[in-house]
Amino acid sequence: MTGALRRLGAGFIGALERLGRASIFLFQLLLSLGTLGRRFELFVRQLHASGVMTLSIVLVSGLFVGMVLALQGYNTLVGFGAEESLGVVVALTLVRELGPVVTGLLFAGRAGSAMTAEIGLMKATEQLSGLEMMAVDPFARVFAPRFLAGFLALPALAAMFSAVGILGGHLVGVEVLGVDTGAYWSQMQSAVGFTEDVVNGLIKALVFGFVVSWIAIFEGVDCVPTSEGVSAATTRTVVYSSLAVLGLDFVLTAIMF
Amino acid sequence: MNSRTVEVLVGVFVLLFLAAMFVLAMRVSNLTSLSGGDGYTLVAKFENIGGLKARAPVSASGVRIGQVESISYDPETFQASVVLRIDEAFDQFPLDTSASIYTAGLLGEQYIGLDPGAEEDFLVDGEEITYTQSALVLERLIGQVLFSRSGGD
């Protein structure tokens, strides 16, 4: 009985300790961002690794999510005789919520886990220690480019997800289900505000990019330097990033809308 | 993967992002009609604005000519004071133009419709529209129907 309680307490204190380490790591990371000006090729390379490689899954998912939204939205709206408002339903759902959140989850699963595995492996094979021996700052050379790339790639991917989703909704709603194309776009244009909806969605995606990149890189750096440790760290990245994205989405939606 | 390919792909990525932003800004949202700065303003006071919101459309003969800029409460006349921003091109509304609050469709958003009058002088920037008709409040309508039915029987 007391053993279980002790483990619970130890687990809680351990979690607090990790959170503190993660915050200190974040401060060091943010301080090292200034050196990226001289290392633009590193940043471009990481933008390719995080952004470009996630492009295919984001675009395909966006297309299918948009098409499903159009189908389900049509089924519900037709009962009220309001199927002309399909554009509004698809656009607002994607731009405000699904674009940032689903992109965040996909990014955490694809790019976040890749970042954690890569950095974890660098720690396990002592490459990070080797860099420090050579007086090369791993923050400037390894972590900062990945962080900035993830931070900027996620909003870009979210915007592409929403755009492709709306086009997919058009494809299903107008071509297949017979909604009038003029009504689809004109109702959407009057209901979707640029600053209220599109920009707020992008701000959400920026926040998600910040948090997902931070979690991914920290878990990689903080892992136990064995193969099991790297695997556990990768799993933790995906789980914590997903929870953080969903939790922050609720908070941000409550603040913004 | 050599660095040239990487750079080209990242360039394509940025281009796709700009294209997506263009689609979202121009085709999806109402950014194109967001000319909040230009145009002239008119003021209209209503007893009840119903569900009228800022940026609601202002139409004449069904054609959108501007939008509602702001709504406030005037504590001296106990009426709602609505500032309309009208496009520069439509600056020839007679002095006795009337402004009414209509609903688009049955459950749609509310908008302001302007009916031109017959005066020769035109409304200028900042002038008040004197003839206004408030929004239809459903509860009052039901109350009137019940009252007239019970009075008639």
Q: Best mutation site among B4, B9, B10, B67 for testing chain A: the one with the most A CBs within 10 Å? A: B10
* Six token digits for residue B47: 């007893």
Hey, which residues does B68 pair with through a beta bridge? B84
Does the beta-carbon distance from B28 to A163 stay under 8 Å? yes
HSE (side-chain half, CA atoms, 13 Å) at B118? 0
Q: Best mutation site among B7, B13, B16, B28 for testing chain A: the one with the most A CBs within 10 Å? A: B28
Residue A86 near residue A179, CB atoms below 8 Å: yes
Nearest to B30 among A47, A95, A190 (CB): A190
Q: Which residues in chain B are contacts of A185 at CB distance < 8 A?
A: 27
Any idea what the Cα angle at residue B113 is, between residues B110 and B119, rounded to 5°? 160
Chain B contact residues (CB < 8 Å to A)? 1, 3, 6-7, 9-10, 12-14, 16-17, 19-21, 23-25, 27-34, 55, 57
Q: What is the structure's pLDDT at B117?
A: 87
Q: For chain A, give me the number of helices (H) and strands (E)?
A: 12, 0
Query: Is the ipTM, as predicted for this complex, more than 0.85?
Result: no
Mean pLDDT score of chain A, rounded to an integer?
Answer: 93
Q: Which residues in chain B are contacts of A91 at CB distance < 8 A?
A: 28
Q: What is the structure's pLDDT at B105?
A: 72
Mean pLDDT along residues A221-232: 93
**Which helix (H) or strand (E) element contains residue B80?**
strand B79-86
Q: How many other C-beta atoms lie within 10 A of the C-beta of residue A179?
A: 25
Does the beta-carbon distance from B9 to A194 stay under 8 Å? no
Mean pLDDT along residues A226-251: 95
Residues B9, A91, A188, B105, Cα dihedral to 10°: 170
Q: Best mutation site among A107, A198, A200 for testing chain B: the one with the most B CBs within 10 Å? A: A198
A166 touches B at CB < 8 Å = yes
Summarize pLDDT for A33-47 with one digit per residue, the tens: 888 888 888 999 999
Summarize pLDDT for A15-69 with one digit per residue, the tens: 999 999 999 999 999 999 888 888 888 999 999 999 999 999 999 999 999 999 9
Residue A212 near residue A112, CB atoms below 8 Å: yes
Smallest CA–CA distance, residue A7 to chain B, in Å, is 48
Residue A86 near residue A74, CB atoms below 8 Å: yes
A156 touches B at CB < 8 Å = yes
pLDDT at B93 over 90: no
In the DSSP assignment, the letter for residue A198 is: I
Summarize pLDDT for A91-139 with one digit per residue, the tens: 999 999 999 999 999 999 999 999 999 999 999 999 999 999 999 999 9
pLDDT at B35 over 60: no
